Amino acid sequence: MSLTSSTVPTVTLNDGEQIPQLGFGVFQVPPEDTADVTTRALLAGYRHVDTAAAYRNEAGVGQAVHAAGLQRDDVYITTKCFNDDHGFDQAKRALHESLKRLEMEHVDLYLIHWPVPSADKYVETWKALVELQQEGLTRSIGVSNFQPAHLERIIAETGVTPAVNQIELHPYFQQVGLRREHGEHGIVTEAWSPLAQGKVLEDAALVEIAEAHGVTTGQVVIRWHLQLGNVVFPKSVTQERIEQNFDVFGFTLTDAQMDAIAALDAGVRTGPDPDTFVRP
C-alpha cells in the first residue's frame, strides 16, 4: 500500500482548524462495500472522507482508515447528526454512537445534516454541537442544508457561527446568494452533489472546456469548485473515476471559462428542499 501524503490545499475554518479542500463522499455507497471503496480512495490520495449516520456506512469508513495504518491526524473525517437525532441530549448521544461505529475518539467535523424547521429543534441541536466541540469529541462544528434564516437564528441565539454550511451546489445550482451570505459570516461553503450526480457532465459548454484542457467534464467541474473556494467531495465507486476526480491539480480554468460555467446556473435543485425536508 502506498499512502504518501497528498498535495491537496487546505482551507482555514473560522475556528482556526484546516480542512482539505478536496475529499471523498460516500453517500449511497452500500455499507458492505464502504471499507473497500474508502480504501481505494485513500490509496488514490484522498485524506478527507464525508460520511453521515444516515448513510449507514460509518463503520466501513472507520475500518478503511484503521486498516490503512495512517495516523489519525492524517485523515479528515466528517459525519452528521440526522433528522431523528435533533434535540440537545439526543444530538450528543448521536455523536457518541457515530464515534463507536467509526471506532474513533473524535471526528474532525460534525454537522447538523438538515435544519428540519417544522420540528424547530435545530437551535437546541446546535447548542449540543457547541458542547461536543468543547468536550473535544469533534474538532469543528457546522451545519448542512441551512438557509439564511436558519444560519442567522443559530448565530443570534448562541453567538457561535458554524465553520461550514454543506449545501447542494453544482453548475446548474450555484447558490450565489447563499455563498455571499457565507462570505459575510466567515462560513466555508461545502458543495454536495458537486457533479449533480452526473447530470451536468454532458453539458456542451463543459465538454468544450474539457477538450481545451484534455481532461474530462467531471475534472472541469471539480476544478471549478476548487477555484471558487468550495470544499468538495465527489463520490464514486468506480476506480477510474475515483482517480480522475483526484487528478485536478494539473490545469487551471481561465477567467473566461469560469464565466462560461457561471452562465450555466439554472437555479434548479436535484435534491430535497431544506425548508421542507423532514425524512427521519
Ligand X SMILES: NC(=O)c1ccc[n+]([C@@H]2O[C@H](COP(=O)([O-])OP(=O)(O)OC[C@H]3O[C@@H](n4cnc5c(N)ncnc54)[C@H](OP(=O)(O)O)[C@@H]3O)[C@@H](O)[C@H]2O)c1
What are φ and ψ of residue 270, in 5° steps? -100, -20
Q: Which of 63, 147, 245, 257 binds ligand X (CB under 6 A)?
A: 245
- Catalytic amino acids? 55
Q: Nearest distance from residue 246's CB to ligand X, in Å?
A: 10
Decide: is 21 part of the binding site for ligand X (CB under 6 A): no
What are residue 245's phi and psi, to 5 degrees?
Answer: -70, -20
C-alpha cell belonging to residue 206: 463543459
Provide, rounded to whole angstroms, the least separation between the CB of residue 85 and ligand X.
14
Q: How many residues bind ligand X (CB under 6 A)?
A: 29
Burial class (CB in 10 A: 0-12, 13-18, 19+), 251: middle
Between 63 and 236, CB nearer to ligand X: 236
**Using the rule CB under 6 A, is 34 a contact of ligand X?**
no
Which residue, 20 or 255, is less far from ligand X as judged by CB?
20
**For residue 20, what is the enclosing H or E element?**
strand 18-20
The least CB distance from residue 159 to ligand X, in Å, is 25
Of 92 and 114, which has the nearer Cβ to ligand X?
114
C-alpha cell at 157: 441565539
Q: In sequence order, what are the residues at sequence separation of 6 or more whose Cβ sits closer than 8 angstroms to the Cβ of residue 159?
A: none
Measured CA to CA, the distance from residue 51 to residue 71 in angstroms comes to 19
CA separation for the pair 53, 57 (Å, rounded): 7
- Whether residue 83 contacts residue 114, with contact meaning beta carbons closer than 8 Å, is answered with yes
* Per-residue interface string for the shown chain with ligand X, residues 190-209, x marking contact by CB under 6 A: --xxxxxxx--x--------
Figure out which of the listed residues 6, 17, 18, 27 binds ligand X, where binding follows CB under 6 A: 27
Q: Applying CB under 6 A, does 45 fall inside the site for ligand X?
A: no
For ligand X, the nearest residue by Cβ is 25
**Residue 170 class from Cβ within 10 Å (0-12 exposed, 13-18 middle, 19+ buried)?**
buried
Can residue 142 be called a binding residue for ligand X (CB under 6 A)? no
In the list 59, 237, 258, 260, the residue contacting ligand X (rule: CB under 6 A) is 237
Of the candidates 26, 178, 187, 264, which one interacts with ligand X according to CB under 6 A? 26
Which residues in 77-116 contact ligand X (CB under 6 A)?
113
Task: Note whether 171 binds ligand X by CB under 6 A.
Answer: no
Strand partners, 142: 111
Q: Which of 11, 19, 21, 25 binds ligand X (CB under 6 A)?
A: 25
Query: For ligand X, which residue of 79, 233, 257, 264 counts as binding (CB under 6 A)?
Result: 233
Q: Which of 144, 165, 174, 257 binds ligand X (CB under 6 A)?
A: 144
User: Judged by CB under 6 A, does residue 31 bind ligand X?
Assistant: no
Alpha helices (runs of H) in the chain, residue ranges in sequence order? 31-44, 58-68, 88-102, 122-134, 148-158, 176-185, 204-213, 217-228, 239-246, 255-262
Residue 14 sits at φ, ψ, to 5 deg, of -70, -5
By CB under 6 A, name the binding residues for ligand X: 25-28, 50, 113, 144-145, 166, 192-198, 201, 216, 218, 233-238, 241, 244-245, 271
